[in-house]
Amino acid sequence: MVSPVIENEIVKAVVVSDVSSQRTDGLIGTTLMRSLGIVMATVVLIVLLLLNHFRFVQYAMLFRRMKEVDQLKNDFLSVATHELRAPMTVIKGSIENLEDGITGTVDEKGRHVLKVIYGETERLNNLVTDLLNVSRLEQGRITYTFETVDLRETSQNIVDEFTAKAQQKGLTITYQQPPTPELISADKGRIIEVLTNLVDNAVKYSQKGSVIVTHKSTANQVVLSVRDTGIGMAAPDRERLFSRFYRIQNDDTKGIPGTGLGLWIIKQYIEAMRGTISVDSMVGVGTEFEVQFPRLKPGPEKP
Ligand SMILES: Nc1ncnc2c1ncn2[C@@H]1O[C@H](COP(=O)(O)OP(=O)(O)O)[C@@H](O)[C@H]1O
Ligand SMILES: [Mg+2]
């Protein structure tokens, strides 16, 4: 651009100026590009955050649904098992009545059939009881009444209960009673269930030899032991032994009925009573289950 400098109508000078907005335009352009980049990045970030948010919402909904289904399953289990137990008690009672000759004499063949029905009803009853206990444990509905338990009396009773069953299989079952009382603080009913399960397994999974129940005390613990000379189990099986529904599947266990719930159930009981359970076993030689409880020191003698 050319601008004359005029003084007294005489052009004194000419100012030539060259003004350009090129740099400003460049700066504005770069700033715009950067702003656009930031806006784009923000939009992408927001979209990602939203996607993530929806995923979390979906997870939360899924979790809620799973909890509902779990609750439904537990409710169903408790109702179904309760309802199933009542008719089974009636069936067993009726079989006993028939065996007692209430409807007339039952011949040998009839007795055999009744025995089969009774056995199968008992099997069903055990399954239902196991399921009921699992459902109660899962819902935290098991209560423990702690009292001083002398393991000698409990162990003897259970061994007596299983003697006939063991003898039928040609097994000997013994309780090696220690000379002094072994006191623990526990729920007596649950201790009976623990011992019953272990002795039942020892008899069930042994084809020959003996089952020995005993206990000993160390300075701080009472150790309850159930030992058998049965089929035993390999190390990898032992690791999963206390999982729910786990049963060892091989030629030795084929045909032996069970639910695979007993050991899981008693482990929960034992741990709730501040105890631990461990197993030692060798295939073809036998198995020993040990249950450790804190030892209850006898209180001072009252004068
Ligand atoms: N004394 C034992 N000797 C050999 N195997 C055993 C013994 N006790 C338990 N087991 C194995 O552990 C599995 C789980 O036992 P458990 O939970 O009591 O279920 P169940 O007896 O109903 O099958 C059994 O199926 C069996 O394979
Ligand atoms: Mg069992």
Evaluate if residue 301 carries a pLDDT over 80. no
Percent of the chain with pLDDT over 70: 98
Evaluate if residue 15 carries a pLDDT over 90. no
Euclidean distance between the first and the last CA atom of the chain, given in angstroms as a whole number: 125
Report the separation in Å between the CA atom of 41 and the middle of ligand 1, taken as the mean of its atom positions.
61
Is the CB–ligand 1 distance for residue 287 below 6 Å?
Answer: yes
Same structural domain for residues 103 and 160? no
CATH number of residue 238's parent domain: 3.30.565.10
Each residue's pLDDT tens digit, 57-111: 999 999 999 999 888 888 887 788 888 888 999 999 999 999 898 888 989 999 9
Same structural domain for residues 134 and 153? no
Evaluate if residue 303 carries a pLDDT over 50. no
Evaluate if residue 141 carries a pLDDT over 90. no
In this structure, the dihedral spanned by the alpha carbons of residues 259, 188, 144 and 220, taken in order and rounded to 10 degrees, is: -100
Spatial distance between the Cα atoms of 197 and 146, rounded to a whole number of angstroms: 20
Is the CB–ligand 1 distance for residue 154 below 6 Å?
Answer: no
Residues contacting residue 200 through CB under 8 Å, at least 6 positions apart: 162, 262
CA 241, 244, 249, 255 dihedral sign is positive
Each residue's pLDDT tens digit, 153-208: 999 999 999 999 999 999 999 999 998 888 899 999 999 999 999 999 999 999 99
Residue 279 lies in a domain: yes
Residue 226 lies in a domain: yes
- The pLDDT, as a whole number, for residue 65 is 93
- The ligand with the least distance to the CA atom of 245 is 1
In this structure, the dihedral spanned by the alpha carbons of residues 57, 63, 65 and 70, taken in order and rounded to 10 degrees, is: 180
Q: Is 300 exposed, middle or buried (0-12, 13-18, 19+ CB in 10 A)?
A: exposed
Residue 16 lies in a domain: no
Residue 225 lies in a domain: yes
Each residue's pLDDT tens digit, 219-240: 899 999 999 999 999 999 998 9
pLDDT confidence tier of residue 46, bands split at 50, 70 and 90: very high
- The ligand with the least distance to the CA atom of 246 is 1
Same structural domain for residues 199 and 277? yes
Residues contacting residue 141 through CB under 8 Å, at least 6 positions apart: none
Same structural domain for residues 76 and 172? no
To test the pocket of ligand 1, the residue of 247, 253, 261, 291 to mutate (highest count of ligand atoms within 8 Å of its CB) is: 247
Same structural domain for residues 286 and 227? yes
pLDDT confidence tier of residue 299, bands split at 50, 70 and 90: low
Report the separation in Å between the CA atom of 266 and the middle of ligand 1, taken as the mean of its atom positions.
12
pLDDT confidence tier of residue 251, bands split at 50, 70 and 90: very high
* Residue 294 in tokens: 């804190």
Nearest CA to ligand 1 atom 10: 201
> Which atom of ligand 1 has the smallest separation from the CA of 246?
14
Is the CB–ligand 1 distance for residue 241 below 6 Å?
Answer: yes
pTM of the model: 0.76
CATH number of residue 90's parent domain: 1.10.287.130
Residue 14 phi/psi, 5-degree rounding, is -125, 125
Domain boundary among 138, 164, 185: 138
Report the separation in Å between the CA atom of 263 and the middle of ligand 1, taken as the mean of its atom positions.
7
Domain boundary among 109, 138, 167: 138
Same structural domain for residues 124 and 218? no
Evaluate if residue 139 carries a pLDDT over 60. yes
Percent of the chain with pLDDT over 90: 64
Same structural domain for residues 160 and 283? yes
Same structural domain for residues 130 and 170? no
Nearest CA to ligand 1 atom 18: 262
Is the CB–ligand 1 distance for residue 265 below 6 Å?
Answer: no
Residue 152 lies in a domain: yes
* Residue 175 in tokens: 């309780």
Q: Which residue has tokens 């006939």?
A: 164
* Distances, alpha carbon 181 to alpha carbons 139, 215, 255, 297, in Å: 35, 10, 40, 11
Same structural domain for residues 130 and 222? no
Same structural domain for residues 168 and 254? yes
Same structural domain for residues 283 and 175? yes
Report the separation in Å between the CA atom of 200 and the middle of ligand 1, taken as the mean of its atom positions.
9
Residue 7 lies in a domain: no
Residue 272 lies in a domain: yes
Domain carrying residue 111: 64-138
- The pLDDT, as a whole number, for residue 185 is 95
- The pLDDT, as a whole number, for residue 22 is 83
Question: What is the crossing angle of helices 108-138 and 262-272, to 10°?
Answer: 50
pLDDT confidence tier of residue 293, bands split at 50, 70 and 90: very high
> Which atom of ligand 1 has the smallest separation from the CA of 263?
17
Residue 161 lies in a domain: yes
- The pLDDT, as a whole number, for residue 298 is 61
Same structural domain for residues 258 and 167? yes
Spatial distance between the Cα atoms of 51 and 35, rounded to a whole number of angstroms: 24
What mean pLDDT value characterizes the chain?
91
Spatial distance between the Cα atoms of 95 and 118, rounded to a whole number of angstroms: 7
Domain count within the chain: 2
